[in-house]
């Protein structure tokens, strides 16, 4: 793994990005690196050329939707990346939709982290459609601390239920404004999706009916884990 430090940050970032283009980097950690537009442009140009990079951590870089669109396009043209972390980047539905379009065409992406952004129901629906179309390789999806609500949760659950082949094992939807409707659909997804082993749905305003259905799903599937602490009275 290669990481950028605070001292000489610009030069360090440039060196790391050059390493990606030269196939010398497997895990690129630019979390909180303060990427500027020039560095982002260099990275977007380097990613498609790399056959070695497997992990891309760009968390907390204020990429926004536009930066996310550029990264999504670059990853779409790369066939080696297996994990992408875009947490804390101010990404909303537009950026999430760009990612959804990219992962449908990506053969190796296993882990996608989009927590602590501003993704709503439309972005979640785009990702749900991507899951339904063709993402059998994806095993982890993190949408925690967004705002997908019941509509987004229902869209994701519906896609999982409809799939005959899915490898998604871990789904994080903590703190998303999900109520009973989304929780009930997620309970069905847990029961009907063999691959799904862990559902993180804590800190959502789920009522008694949603809690009941999730508890029953866990009782009926003792090999699975549902993390349910609501944080609401």
Q: What is the pLDDT of residue 18?
A: 78
Distance CA 5, CA 157 (A): 40
* CB-count burial class (<10 Å; 0-12, 13-18, 19+) for 111: middle
Percent above pLDDT 70 for the chain: 95
Q: Is the pLDDT assigned to residue 90 strictly greater than 90?
A: yes
- What tens digit of pLDDT does each residue of 23-62 get? 778 999 999 999 888 899 999 999 998 999 999 999 999 9
Q: Is the pLDDT assigned to residue 9 strictly greater than 90?
A: no
Q: Which of 126, 90, 86 is nearest to 109 (CA)?
A: 86
Whole-prediction pTM: 0.93
Residue ranges and CATH numbers for the domains of the chain are 56-227 (3.80.10.10)
Which among 10-19, 22-31, 119-128 has the top mean pLDDT? Answer: 119-128
Mean pLDDT to the nearest integer, 92-115 = 94
112 compared with 25, residue with greater pLDDT: 112
The 8-class DSSP code of residue 113 comes to E
CB atoms within 10 A of CB 10: 14
215 half-sphere exposure, CB direction, 13 A CA radius: 9
Contact between 174 and 201 under an 8 Å Cβ cutoff? The reply is: yes
132 compared with 157, residue with greater pLDDT: 157
Q: Is the pLDDT assigned to residue 158 strictly greater than 80?
A: yes
Q: Which of 75, 87, 88 is nearest to 48 (CA)?
A: 75
Distance CA 13, CA 10 (A): 5
Q: What is the pLDDT of residue 1?
A: 52
- What tens digit of pLDDT does each residue of 171-221 get? 999 999 999 999 999 999 999 999 999 999 999 999 999 999 999 999 999
Q: What is the pLDDT of residue 7?
A: 47
Average pLDDT across the chain, whole number: 91
Give the Å distances, CA to CA, from 158 to 42, 76, 193, 196, 216: 39, 25, 10, 13, 19
Q: Is the pLDDT assigned to residue 6 strictly greater than 50?
A: no
For residue 5, what pLDDT band results from cuts at 50, 70 and 90? very low
Q: Is the pLDDT assigned to residue 14 strictly greater than 80?
A: no
First to last CA, the chain: 43
For residue 233, what pLDDT band results from cuts at 50, 70 and 90? very low
Mean pLDDT to the nearest integer, 4-10 = 56
């Amino acid at each position: 793994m290669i990481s950028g430090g605070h001292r000489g940050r610009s030069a360090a970032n440039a060196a790391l990005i050059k390493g990606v283009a030269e196939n010398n980097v497997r895990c690129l950690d630019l979390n909180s690196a303060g990427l500027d537009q020039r560095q982002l442009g260099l990275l977007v140009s380097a990613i498609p050329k790399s056959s070695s990079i497997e992990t891309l951590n760009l968390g907390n870089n204020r990429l926004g939707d536009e930066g996310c669109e550029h990264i999504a396009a670059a990853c779409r043209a790369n066939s080696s990346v297996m994990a992408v972390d875009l947490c804390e980047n101010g990404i909303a539905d537009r950026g999430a939709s760009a990612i959804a379009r990219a992962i449908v065409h990506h053969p190796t992406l296993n882990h996608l982290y989009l927590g602590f952004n501003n993704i709503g129901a439309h972005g979640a629906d785009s990702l749900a459609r991507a899951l339904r179309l063709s993402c059998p390789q994806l095993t982890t999806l993190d949408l925690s601390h967004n705002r997908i609500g019941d509509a987004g949760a229902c869209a994701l659950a519906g896609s999982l239920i409809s799939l005959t082949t899915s490898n998604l094992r871990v789904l994080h939807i903590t703190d998303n404004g999900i109520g009973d409707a989304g929780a009930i659909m997620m309970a069905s997804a847990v029961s009907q999706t063999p691959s799904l082993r862990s559902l993180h749905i804590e800190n959502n305003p789920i009522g008694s009916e949603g809690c009941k259905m999730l508890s029953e799903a866990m009782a009926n599937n003792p090999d699975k884990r549902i993390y349910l602490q609501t944080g609401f009275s």
